[in-house]
Amino acid sequence: MEKRSRILLCVCGGIAAYKAIDLASQLFKAGYEIRTVLTENALKFVSPINFAAITHNSVHSSLWEDSDPIPHISLADWADLIVVAPASANTMAKAAQGLADNLLSSILLAHRKAVLWVPAMNVNMYLSTALQSNLLALRNRGHYILEPATGMLACAYEGKGKFPPVPEIIYAIRSYLTQTRDLVGKKVMVTAGASVEAIDPMRIITNRSSGKMGLSLARALSLRGAEVTLIYSSISEELPYYLTEAVQALSAQDMYQAVISRAQSMEWIIMCAAVADYTPKIVAEQKLKKGSQMSLEMVATQDILAELAKRKSSKQLLIGFAAETQDIIANATEKLDKKNLDLIIANHIKNAGKDSNAITLISKSGKPQNIEGDKFDLAQQIIDRIVEL
């Protein structure tokens, strides 16, 4: 974060209000400056002291009883981003209509920068025509919506309406502080993770890729509005819950089929997965028994990127990764040419599994670009470079 971004955290009345305390805590630890607004109904679920103690900053809930004589304008002007979490159906309806009958609705009307809504409620309320048309009105006005997660709700219904995992809200905040939904409708396929090749029913051959970079790309692309198909093998993290399609393909052969069968309709294909170059020639049906030594015959897998390059349409962009231990730039440039890619991202294998990395972006034209940061930050910058291409 370059400067301490100012987040106005607005909490509506709903059972998920208690989860906003954790959101405030994780935002504070991440270095954001936070002020909080609680609606009258939120005060029935949580106390101002929770937020004041965690954010070390002011909490506001009234237009009339505030030390500031015009709190709605001061708070609207102060915030870089307003985050309404949880957002109630009532507050969204008021904002969609431009009503200003309490502190929060007045702030929303006066604010000139970005607003992120995080709705959480009963599934039938969330899917109601009235609520969906209010969401559309807000989105058409440039507001951002992080859709709820699906699962068991507090009302004992099963469905869409859950407050998202806090880290996903923070990724959305990071995205909308600097980016817009500039990729709406773009169809992108991303692969992630380490191939898993079976030796017998118990043993496998795999590699050290964690899938974090691929998941960060899928997440950042989705938040910018792209329709993301993720093909993933073995990964060490939860998938973002809002992807358009997510398909697990563990082996190089399964990934080949999953990718090639979907490739034609994709505008960008980003091959971030660490695909096995070899697989056992025969997978033993029964568990192999111990002996004094063992040798395994391996055969080459198909190169997915090379096949994609053969079938590539003029409107498609192909992006590859090169994880190396030596001569990183030279090896990556050779792969860029050999596989006929538009962009390759070179990096040292030592950062596999870590949250941060240092990478070099190499395309056919222009100078190699070195960037470093956490993998979400790198994903944003890789996407910016693809947009330029």
CB of 297 to ligand CTP, least distance (A): 18
Hey, CA dihedral for 207, 208, 213, 216, is it positive or negative? positive
For 370, residues 6+ apart whose C-beta sits below 8 A from its C-beta are: 358, 359, 360
How many CA within 13 A on the CB side of residue 79?
Answer: 29
Smaller CB separation from ligand CTP, 67 or 261: 261
CB of 269 to ligand CTP, least distance (A): 10
CB of 346 to ligand CTP, least distance (A): 9
Q: What is the dihedral of CA 18, 24, 26, 32, to 10 degrees?
A: 170
CB of 270 to ligand CTP, least distance (A): 8
Q: How far is CA 86 from CA 78, 100, 148, in A?
A: 21, 19, 10
How many CA within 13 A on the CB side of residue 167?
Answer: 8
Two tokens at 322?
Answer: 């090169």
CB of 306 to ligand CTP, least distance (A): 7
Active site (annotated) includes residue 12: no
Smaller CB separation from ligand CTP, 23 or 323: 323
Interface residue list for ligand CTP (CB under 6 A) = 252, 271, 273, 275, 277, 301, 303-305, 320-323, 335
Smaller CB separation from ligand CTP, 42 or 275: 275
**Pairwise CA distance, residues 292 & 299, whole Å:** 24
Hey, CA dihedral for 326, 324, 264, 198, is it positive or negative? positive
Smaller CB separation from ligand CTP, 153 or 272: 272
Smaller CB separation from ligand CTP, 42 or 273: 273
* Given the residues 10, 12, 155, 272, the one annotated as active site: 155
Two tokens at 319?
Answer: 């992006």
Q: Which residues are catalytic?
A: 155
